[in-house]
Amino acid sequence: MRLDKMLSDMQIGTRNEVKKYIKSGQISVNGNHRVAPELKVHPGEDTILFRGKEICYEAYEYYMFYKPKGCVTARNDNLHKTVMDYIDSKRKDLSPVGRLDRDTTGLLLVTNDGMLSHKLLSPAKHVEKTYEARIRGRVTKEDVLLFQEGLDIGDETPAKPAKLTVLKEGEESLVHVAVTEGRYHQIKRMFHAVGKEVLSLKRLSMGSLKLDSTLKPGEYRKLTKEELLCLKMPEDIEC
């Protein structure tokens, strides 16, 4: 790939800034400082230095993001702050994997790995997503059974069976609910179908990836090698 594109992808600067660095001799390729922006380089084979520090190319980036309330799961929005406004990266191909409602908080994966995104979102893969929800109304054992059977939420087909776990029962209940679909406002509609109202919703996990308890809303970090390996494991192999 072109030297200037590789350096720009790795957040050294914009393409114009990178060209200035190259022209001023701040970039070297295999020890040679007299290089051109259009020089074809081979990441992983060529040694590329910026101000004496080696630049290692990463084709894909993976971030765990704790989505705060009020943030829109989109690349751009004229009215609200988006997920991408929080991620400090110059890469233009990063996108959130799936969507969370504006008032839903919790785990989002942000990456430019299209194959992994497809694996996690494809209905055929049945990737489980777990949420914590505060519910107005007493969640009962009958509700648990109804969720297990699959609920009619007004679509052409009922929602697939979901696992509902009651953590605290009362006039305001606390629950965990695990689903393998991503329908529009699905969990809110499921509870509405049993006469309850969702007061707050937070995603805790997506497949093997669990929200880091040390992150605060609006914070993010890169995935660890172990987390990424587990996400990419075949469906029939447990991590």
Domains within the chain, CATH numbers bracketed = 3-54 (3.10.290.10), 62-123+209-232 (3.30.70.580), 128-206 (3.30.70.1560)
Structure tokens at 37: 């922006």
Q: Tens place of pLDDT for every residue, the chain, 239 residues?
A: 899 988 988 878 888 999 999 999 999 999 999 999 999 999 888 999 999 999 888 889 999 999 999 999 988 888 889 999 999 876 778 999 999 999 999 999 999 999 999 999 988 888 999 999 999 999 999 999 999 999 999 999 999 999 999 999 999 999 999 999 989 999 999 999 999 999 999 999 999 999 999 999 999 999 999 999 999 887 666 77
Which among 77, 101, 113, 236 is annotated as catalytic?
101
Query: What does the alpha-carbon distance between residue 198 and residue 125 come to, in Å, rounded to a whole number?
Result: 27
pTM for the model stands at 0.82
Which residues on adjacent β-strands are paired with residue 49? Answer: 28, 54
Q: What's the number of CA atoms in the CB half-sphere (13 Å) around residue 209?
A: 28
Q: Is 101 annotated as catalytic?
A: yes
User: Quick check: helix, strand or coil at residue 183?
Assistant: coil
Question: Between vectors from CA 232 to CA 228 and to CA 233, what angle results, nearest 5°?
Answer: 115
